[in-house]
Amino acid sequence: MTVSEPTLPQRIRSFIRRQGRLTPGQQLALDSHWNAYCLNPETDYDFTQVFGRDAPLFVEIGFGNGDSLAKMAAANPDKNYIGIEVHTPGVGHLLILLHEQGINNVRIYSHDAIEILENKIADNSLAGVHLFFPDPWHKKKHHKRRIVRPSFVDLLVKKLKPGGYFHAATDWENYAEAMLAILSASPVLTNTSPSNDYCQCPEYRPLTKFEQRGIRLGHGVWDLIFSKV
């Protein structure tokens, strides 16, 4: 089974860069802590030197305000995390959390995630890639902007270690179904779900406030976890 993308643009552009309004605290964090936590997308890094150790490396694409990433990193101090987010207020908020909580196992790129994966992450180097609640681009005419597509899966397969995993979560059932079909088409990925569709939310993924509210209202959330054979 193959999933083609004949009508999709060659480059994935799954986000619109919005500046947003920075709070004074976020601006202060950007001014004070950028050099401590943020990476230059033009520089090539040895991540064992960046983190000062060799540990399993995870990437989160589009971390939003960073609450979930900070919680994961604090709960798993033996792992290294790279967060990628283009929206400056979210970066500022995460910097506040990292500094206030003394979290040292997170680094940040404020840049296009596809370019970072392609150019700055070594092949067969990632223990996991997280994509939690990406923009669903729910209108059919906008589906071409969704990040999960066959070319993205090919990129994932290159960057994941054997046994590494990709974990996506969405509250849009249509997007979940599309992701399931695309990921299932890869001969190099295997679905970790016992029912070969969706997984229970694992303990390592913190629930967001938005997600908790949706669950109380009866809204669905779909987790997909595929590992590299």
Mean pLDDT, range 7-34, rounded to an integer: 74
Domain with 104 in it: what CATH number?
3.40.50.150
- Around Cβ 11, how many Cβ atoms within 10 Å? 10
Query: Which residue range forms the structural domain that includes residue 206?
Result: 39-228
Q: With a cut of 60, say whether residue 154 has pLDDT above it.
A: yes
| pLDDT score, position 211 | 81
Query: For 38-87, what is each residue's pLDDT tens digit?
Result: 999 999 999 999 999 999 999 999 999 999 999 999 999 999 999 999 99
- Could you give the C-alpha distances from 114 to 29, 71, 170, 196, 206, in angstroms and in order? 26, 24, 19, 27, 24
Q: Is the pLDDT reported for residue 91 higher than 90?
A: yes
* pTM of the model as a whole: 0.89
Could you say which of 67, 135, 197, 223 is catalytic? Answer: 135
Please report whether residue 18 resides in a domain: no
Q: Is residue 24 situated within a structural domain?
A: no
For the question of residue 135 being annotated catalytic, the response is yes
Q: Number of folded domains in the chain?
A: 1
Domain for residue 21, yes or no?
A: no
* Residue 11 belongs to some domain of the structure: no
**Which has the higher per-residue pLDDT, 33 or 141?**
33
Average pLDDT over residues 117-141: 89
Residue 12 included in any domain? no
Evaluate whether residue 19 is within a structural domain: no
Q: Report yes or no on 33 lying in a domain.
A: no
Rounded distance between C-alpha atoms, residue 44 and residue 125, angstroms = 15
Q: How high is the pLDDT of residue 164?
A: 98
| CA dihedral (179, 201, 126, 97) positive or negative | positive
